[in-house]
Amino acid sequence: MIHTPALIVHGGAWDILDEAVEDHKRGCSNAVAAGWRVLAAGGSALDAVTAAVVVMEDDPTFDAGRGSFLNADAEVELDASIMRGSDLKAGAVAAVRRLRHPIQLARLVMEGSEHVLLVGRGAEKFASSRGIKFCRTRDLLVGRELQRYQALRSRKDFHVREVFEKQPRGTVGAVAFDNSGSLAAATSTGGTPQKMPGRVGDSPIIGAGTFADNESGAALSTGWGESILRVLLAKTACDFLKEHNDANRAAKEAIQVLEKRVAGKGGVILIDRFGGVGLAFNTPRMAYALRQGEKIFKIGI
Ligand code: ASP
């Protein structure tokens, strides 16, 4: 049976500033275009989410790849993960440096190792052994983030929760449903500004940042990682799908759990096992774009 493909991407759930809205819309739309080219040609959900995330990692609008936040040591440390719903295979990397496309390394962990999650130096060693080229930290750095680092460094009262209410950019991710009826999800992030070196958020943690299961659905989280981790937000959203198969309702219920149980902030995007698309967030804004079949295309903030 041939299914109608679907694709949704997000560019973070934060208080996206008015002046950054157009860049977010353009970035999300470019990512959907890249992922859709794969799906429209009959490609897999896994290839589609990889293609979409690579485009967003290259776009300095987002906190992923180039344009990422700096940590407290003025380093860029990146997290990414990917999961396939047909066999629950997953790959992830955390706290990796000097990589333009951590999502490609996460995929290599999934397809070319017996592990699910590699971190730091070990992940970088694995990347070298597979011929992945490293860049310089400064290739990932944009002036805007250097200025943010300098401004936040001098503040004693800074708490990461405030970035989800006041700061303008976030993580990226894509969820896809292909014409064979298979799901996949992928996410990539620079984490949060001023994070401690070695801090790992929700994004590379399967079940928290990313989840895909052809028997329920595929979901991604974005927002305040320390809260998302504690409620396994992506898996929680997919569990709600098992109850009623309403993608928007499942996303809303997952965000209610995040808010009520841990006073969390963030957003969820997901696709159910029939290709239905849903999203919800409790931050001021979330950037997203979606496509379902040839007719439905939507960009939102
Ligand atoms: N969830 C990410 C983290 O805490 C940040 C984000 O989604 O923008 O690392």
In this predicted model, what pLDDT tens digit does every residue of 234-261 receive, in sequence order? 999 999 999 998 999 999 999 999 999 9
Report residue 14's pLDDT band, with 50, 70 and 90 as the boundaries: confident
Rounded to the nearest angstrom, the distance between the alpha carbon of 224 and the centre of ligand 1 is: 5
Cα dihedral sign, 139-95-147-228: positive
Residues 6+ apart with CB under 8 A from 63: 12, 69, 169, 170, 171, 172, 189, 190, 191
Measured in degrees and rounded to the nearest 5, phi and psi for residue 174 equal -145, 140
State the DSSP code for 159: -
* SS3 assignment, position 190: coil
Average pLDDT over residues 27-48: 98
Q: What is the pLDDT of residue 154?
A: 75
Query: How far, in Å, CA of 78 to CA of 102, rounded?
Result: 7
Q: Which atom of ligand 1 is nearest to the CA of 12?
A: 8
Categorize the per-residue pLDDT at 87 as very low, low, confident or very high, splitting at 50, 70 and 90.
Answer: very high
Q: Is 89 a residue whose pLDDT tops 90?
A: yes
20: nearest Cα among 60, 72, 71: 60
171 Cα nearest atom in ligand 1: 8
Domain 6-300 has CATH 3.10.580.10: no
| 171 catalytic per annotation | yes
pLDDT tens figures, 145-162: 788 888 787 777 766 666
**Pocket of ligand 1 from Cβ distances under 6 Å:** 12, 63, 170-171, 189, 191-192, 201-203, 222-223, 225, 228
In ligand 1, which atom is closest to the CA atom of 164?
8
Alpha carbon of 294 to ligand 1 centroid (Å): 31
Is the model's pLDDT at 291 over the cut of 70?
Answer: yes
Question: What pLDDT shows up at residue 294?
Answer: 85
User: What percent of the chain has pLDDT above 90?
Assistant: 82
Residue 12: predicted pLDDT: 93
DSSP category for residue 180: T
Across 20-29, b (16+ Cβ under 10 Å) vs e yields beebbbebbe
What average pLDDT does the structure give for the chain?
A: 94
Tell me which residue has its CA closest to atom 4 in ligand 1. Answer: 225
- Residue 11 CA, ligand 1 centroid: distance in Å: 11
The model carries a pTM of 0.94
Q: Determine the distance separating the centroid of ligand 1 and the alpha carbon of 89, expressed in angstroms.
A: 22
Q: Select which of 50, 61, 171, 187 is catalytic.
A: 171
User: What does the alpha-carbon distance between residue 14 and residue 25 come to, in Å, rounded to a whole number?
Assistant: 14
Cα–Cα distance between 74 and 77 in angstroms, integer? Answer: 9
Q: Residue 143's CB: how many other CB atoms inside 10 A? A: 8
Question: Distance between CA atoms of 44 and 28, rounded to whole angstroms?
Answer: 20
Other CB atoms within a 10 A radius of the CB of residue 249 amount to: 15
- pLDDT over 60 at 11, yes or no: yes
